[in-house]
Structure 1
Amino acid sequence: MTSLVVCLDRNDDVGRKTGLSTPIVGWEAVRALVTDVGLADPEDSGVNALLETLSVAQQLRDDNEDVVVAVVSGERESMVSADRAVARQLDDLAAEYDLDSAVVVLDSTDDEQLVPVVESRLRVDSVDRVVVRQARDIESTYYLLKQFLGDEELRQTILVPVGLTLLVFPILASVTTLAQGAAAITTVIGLFLLYKGFNIDEIVTALAIKARESIYSGQVSVVTYVVAAGLTLIGLFVGGLGVSGLDDTGGVLLPTMQFVNDSVPWIAMAALVASAGRLLDETIEDEPLRRSYLNLPFVVVSVGLVVRGFSAYFLEQQDLIEPIVVPPISIGTTTIEAISLSASQRLALYVSVAFILSIVGVRLTSHLATAAIEDSEFTEHTDSD
């Protein structure tokens, strides 16, 4: 059994620095090559690779194995021609020395790409990669950086924002103050990180695909979603108008409550329209109505009442809105006088109505779901008969 201990040199550093042609075979020839390469370039890691090749060969000889030591190099024209040159040299060595296996020694990631070429001709028992001890951290950092630059997604995610920052920051600093430019850049970077962190791009893509499918399938919910979006914008606009009409309150709580109190009815109406469109789609498609869709309108109205009740409580405490006044009611000869509800009574009324609506929604949804199950079981039983 004869083993080949081969040092791979894909870029032909040996031929370029010493003028020798490969393959170089034999213990003495390789040892002399160490001196030639070391004198030509003392800092070349290839010297350590050649010494490692001799060391591995000596260890195998000490174990009474037949060993052939060789150095093979590629060509400098192209990577394809380099790999083919190494393949030809390995074929010649295998035919001349009747080789059974190989131990590969290399010192770079480029040389490591020749391992499949060796494996296609000989059984590779071991791959020995040589890294110079003093430069281990530097070389490892270099390979990591090279791998990072080879990843297109990482380049676009990190290098593009950094490059834009370096380009835009001097412009902002010259137009505005340095602090304002730094604040603007920091804000953009923060928004970008949130955009990537919450996978907003995937969410937007999914929504676009769903919207396209809804349009092509002719679903009613497309129209109701557009109406809901318009109602939401109206709610935001009305809430903004309510806040702009306030005097200087010296805080954030009251403007927020005013905005919520004015916008909640419109936003709740938008949610109702959207849920109604979804229910119509389910009905048109003759599919079983899901309990979540049936219960959604009741939940929307209940939550809207509770939120509006709490916001109105704070506003009425500050005399920003008028209390609810129940007009007088005449029943026959009896007349009930007008009743003015306090802020606490208004809140209790809103919460009570919301609680009753939620219970009605749950009960109605359960009843409809049970009826649908019974109808389906009856249909299956009739079909089986």
Structure 2
Amino acid sequence: MCLDRSDGIARAADASPPVVGWDAVRSLVIDVGLADPEDSSVNCLLETLRVARDLQEDGEEPTVALVTGGPDAVGAGRSIAAQIEAIRDAHAVDSAIIVTDSAEDERFVPVIESRLSVDSVDRVVVRQARDIESTYYLLKQFLGDEELRQTTLVPLGLALIVFPILLATMGPVVAVASLTAVFGLFLLYKGLGVDVYVSTVPAGVRDALYSGQVSVVTYVVGAGLALIGVFAGLLGVSGLESQEGVFEPAMRFVFDSVPWLAMAALAASTGRLLDEAIHDEPLPTAALNLPFGVIALGLIVRGFAAYFLQRSGVIDHSAVPPVDVGVVSVEAFVLSPLQRLAVFVVAGVVVSLVGVRAAARFAGAPEPAEATD
């Protein structure tokens, strides 16, 4: 008796269970094999026929049958029980040899045992599993790919070499932490596509130099200004009298570095804008608005950093000197932290609005279509 809990064999061959008889089961093998040659149920049916043939050679008269279940456990159990009772009444059988192809099918053997005496359970195991074979060929293909070897095996080999050295010199905690950090950086490097971007940088720089783009020079200037900004921020943090906590040193770093970082971004965006103008191409709105956006963002970020530092007493209050212009005379006064923040925010918004206005005025617009007669 071939036991199929899922009813996949009967549905594949469009047969109504139970299927009883040597010829009926043998014909079922062809139908199931043509429907899905990779299905292990074909081997289960063939094993059922083989066991019946061996019993015939021993002088017995076995009955070959297929019983199937259903999609859910309760329905499958009831369906198998009804088919067993029908086979028992029609063919006068009192014992069975169960043939299955999975442990899931064997869970329903007790249903058969409650109605027939089960002599044995024969589980079919396919000798050559496709997953194992596919894994072998995938590993062989992987080891034959030079790029995959360099990006996977080389870092793994270096990690296995460095880990015992760190373990012997610095202890297990430092070794594990260092190795985990390196693997994390490597995964981010590959996952974010940084390697692809880095590989295209030399070709892009070479093409830019040959084509005479101004942005190459401005990008170098921007990188230098950015380094100055980082250095200025670190100097500001090192000059703090008290460096307890993280927030205050971070705000000091932002306050000192933002002007330089904004100038770096301004230099880079200006170079791109000049390239567009030199090549007589319509100036895109984004390229025109970017310098103003950089200045506005720098003003607002520096204003918020100054607010926190002024409230904590790290920097002095901002004093406005006296102004005397004709009949207008303004005495000197000191800005509170909130007033100072408001000035920076308003200045940033004004610069941003000026950028939007300038982009709308000077951006390249499509030429009007010529009128046709």
What band does the TM-score fall into relative to the shorter chain? 0.5 to 0.7
Query: How far 1:161 sits from its partner (Å)?
Result: 1.8
**1:265 is the counterpart of 2:259:** yes
2:278 aligned partner: 284
Once residues 268 and 337 of structure 1 are traced to their aligned partners in structure 2, the CA distance between those partners, rounded to angstroms, is 32
Once residues 309 and 282 of structure 1 are traced to their aligned partners in structure 2, the CA distance between those partners, rounded to angstroms, is 32
Once residues 214 and 138 of structure 2 are traced to their aligned partners in structure 1, the CA distance between those partners, rounded to angstroms, is 53
SS of alignment partner, residue 365 of structure 2 = helix
Residues 6-25 of structure 1 mapped to structure 2, 5 A cutoff: none
Residues 325-344 of structure 1 mapped to structure 2, 5 A cutoff: 325-332=319-326, 335-344=329-338
Q: TM-score, normalised by structure 1?
A: 0.60
Q: CA 1:165–1:368 in 2, change beyond 3 Å: closer, same or farther?
A: same
Match of 2:347 among 322, 331, 353: 353
Aligned partners of 2:234 and 2:253 also within 8 Å: yes
SS of alignment partner, residue 295 of structure 1 = helix
Q: Per-residue CA shift, 1:224-246, capped at 9, x if unaligned?
A: 11111111100000000000001
Mean CA deviation greater in 270-279 or 172-181: 172-181
**1:133 is the counterpart of 2:164:** no
- The one-letter code matched in structure 2 to 1:282 is E
Q: CA 1:280–1:144 in 2, change beyond 3 Å: closer, same or farther?
A: closer
Q: TM-score, normalised by structure 2?
A: 0.62
- The one-letter code matched in structure 1 to 2:281 is E
- The one-letter code matched in structure 1 to 2:291 is P
Q: CA 1:139–1:331 in 2, change beyond 3 Å: closer, same or farther?
A: closer
Following TM superposition, the consecutive aligned residue runs of length 4 or more in structure 1 with deviations greater than 6 angstroms are none
**1:250 is the counterpart of 2:239:** no
Query: How far 1:304 sits from its partner (Å)?
Result: 0.3
Aligned partners of 2:229 and 2:257 also within 8 Å: yes
Query: How far 1:184 sits from its partner (Å)?
Result: 1.6
What is the aligned-residue RMSD (CA, Å)?
2.7
- The one-letter code matched in structure 2 to 1:319 is G
Once residues 322 and 381 of structure 1 are traced to their aligned partners in structure 2, the CA distance between those partners, rounded to angstroms, is 63
2:199 aligned partner: 205
Once residues 218 and 150 of structure 2 are traced to their aligned partners in structure 1, the CA distance between those partners, rounded to angstroms, is 38
Query: How far 1:345 sits from its partner (Å)?
Result: 0.5
The answer for unaligned runs of 5 or more in structure 1 is: 1-54, 56-130
Query: How far 1:175 sits from its partner (Å)?
Result: 2.3
Mean CA deviation greater in 211-220 or 161-170: 161-170
Q: CA 1:249–1:168 in 2, change beyond 3 Å: closer, same or farther?
A: closer
Instruction: Report the identity percentage.
Output: 56
Q: CA 1:144–1:283 in 2, change beyond 3 Å: closer, same or farther?
A: closer
- The one-letter code matched in structure 2 to 1:373 is A
Match of 1:151 among 134, 145, 148: 145
Query: How far 1:206 sits from its partner (Å)?
Result: 2.3
Q: How many residues align?
A: 253
